[in-house]
Each structure stands twice: as structure tokens, then as C-alpha cells.
Amino acid sequence: MARKSISERFLTMFGDIKYFKFPFFFVYDPGSYKVKGDDVRELIDILEPGDILLRSYTMYVDGLFIPGLFSHAGLYYGEVAEDSRPRVGSRIEDLEERKRANELFKTGKQMVIHSMAEGVFIEDILTFSRCDKLAVIRLPEVLRKKEGVSPLGIPEEFYSDEERRIRERLQAGQAVARDEVVPLAKEEALANVGRSYDFDFDFANFARLSCSELVYFCYKAVDQHIEVAPREKRMLFIKKKIVAPDAFLRANLNCAWASRSVRPEIEELGIAIGTTPHKARAAG
């Protein structure tokens, strides 16, 4: 292969320079996102409603302050149809936030509900997948009581009757099917669209929700038995009790799929990628 001329090399490099208007700045970025088209095609084929999506970026500053492989979590809802509109934001009491929730309502075949700085919103899976690392975490087909775990600190008022029944059945040693839990998590996610983002990462106050806090809240009926609960972590420059995105990776759940860009790192943790429940070597 002939060597590129100086002008060809310059033009190749020139095509990888990004500029930002505010603040005015130039960045050389030859890599683009590491999750590629063939990854996304695989992802779309294996996704199931209720899946927990974990993602991260390799060159974003926030990833330096969030412990673990992943810096963000979301709930895969599946198809959002127009008949779901009356239920969007139903958890919200503030009238302005309810109005905002209706404006954020979006229909589509394969939708994710997650929380970012703008708050809780609905987004297409294709947009959500523009990242560098991506994994799918799935509840096992059958959930069972986990002995020796402490009850969660989520106030009783936030539980629906169906969630209480599932929690009581698990406490009594009965098996609960994943298909009973997922619809409740989806409804909770939809009901919280429009919530503001929790910049304080306060996992005892659910008026605002960070990304992993939203997923934790949606699965509150079973969190205790999949071993997901707030634990002390260093967040930004302080220690707080939080549920980091990696907590779902390290929980008693299945890592159903991962992008090629992160598979070696997940396997290095002792976590199998597939459909078998696992326990990582270290608690998340």
C-alpha cells in the first residue's frame, strides 16, 4: 500500500477534529463511539422489556467520578404506544412537572426510560446506544427469597398493592416469576417520566431521581432479594450511600449481553455473559 502524502494525512486528521461553539474549543477525536453497528444489531435482537441497560463513555469527565465500569443505567421499556400517555408522570404531584412529563412523552417501538441532567425521559434505543460500552442486565426467570439481607429503606407509601404482594410472597419463601415483576417496573418508570434529576444522589428521597436511583426505585419490590441496595461509595469528592450503575452488574442477576468493547472487562470480574445467574467476585 502506497504511503499517504502529507496533504492526505492532514485531511484524514482534519476530518477527526470537532469544534464546540461554547466554550469555543477544538478537540481531536479519531475514535468515534466504540459500540458499533453490529453490536447494536445484536442488542436489538436480544432485548426484552424490563432489561436494565448499563452504558459508559471512555472520554467523558463524569466517568472519572462514578465508580465502576459503567456510569449510567436505564430501563428498557419496549414499545411505548399512544394509549400509555394518560399514565405518564402519574407519580408526580407538581402541576408544572406533570405538564413537562406530557411534553416528554414519546412513542416508539423500542424505547428506554432513563434519567439524565434534564430529568427522567423516554428515548429510542438507537439513540441510547451511542456510547463506548454497553451491557444488558436481566432478572432471572424465577426470583426467590435471599436470606440474610436487610429490608430496603424505601417508605411503604411508595409501594403499590401488587408490589407489596410480591414482596410478601418472597419473604414467605415463595417463588416469583420475572414476568410478574417486569410490568410493575415498567409502570413505575412511566409514572416517573418528568421527574427532575437528583443531583444530590439522595437515595432516601424519591422526589427526584438519578439514573441508577430510577432503576432501583422501579424494582423496589425485589431489590432486596437481588441484592441491590445503597452502599457507601466515593461519589465525586465525597462518600455517599448510593446504588452505582455497577451494582446491577454485580447483583444476583444475568448479564444477558455486552458490547465487544467491554466484554473482556466484565469477564475479568468473574461475570459470565449469557443467561446464567452469577455472582461477581466482589460485591457492588
Lowest-pLDDT range of 40-49, 53-62, 120-129, 139-148:
53-62
- How many domains does the chain fold into? 1
DSSP letter at 3 equals P
What does R_g of the chain's alpha carbons equal in angstroms? Answer: 20
- Answer whether residue 283 is part of any domain: no
Q: Say if residue 220's pLDDT is above 90.
A: yes
Q: Is the dihedral of CA 279, 53, 226, 199 positive or negative?
A: positive
CA distance to 52, 56, 57, 133, 215, per residue, from 69 (Å) = 15, 7, 10, 8, 17
Quick one: three-class SS letters along 9-72?
Answer: HHHHHHCCEEEECCCCEEEECCCCCCCCHHHHHHHHHHCCCCCEEEEECCCCHHHHCCCCCCCE
pLDDT of residue 238: 74
Enclosing domain of residue 247: 34-268
Q: Say if residue 91's pLDDT is above 70.
A: yes
- Answer whether residue 21 is part of any domain: no
Q: Do 203 and 216 contact (CB within 8 A), yes or no?
A: yes
Task: Identify which of 133, 127, 121, 100 has the alpha carbon closest to the alpha carbon of residue 31.
Answer: 133
- Answer whether residue 278 is part of any domain: no
pLDDT of residue 267: 94
- Answer whether residue 48 is part of any domain: yes
pLDDT of residue 248: 96
- Answer whether residue 75 is part of any domain: yes
- Answer whether residue 165 is part of any domain: yes
Percent of the chain with pLDDT over 90: 63
- Answer whether residue 69 is part of any domain: yes
Distance CA 184, CA 133 (A): 28
Lowest-pLDDT range of 57-61, 66-70, 101-105, 228-232:
57-61
pLDDT of residue 98: 85
Quick: pLDDT tens for 139-182: 999 999 988 777 778 899 999 999 999 999 999 999 999 999 99
- Answer whether residue 175 is part of any domain: yes
On the CB side of 71, CA atoms within 13 Å amount to 17
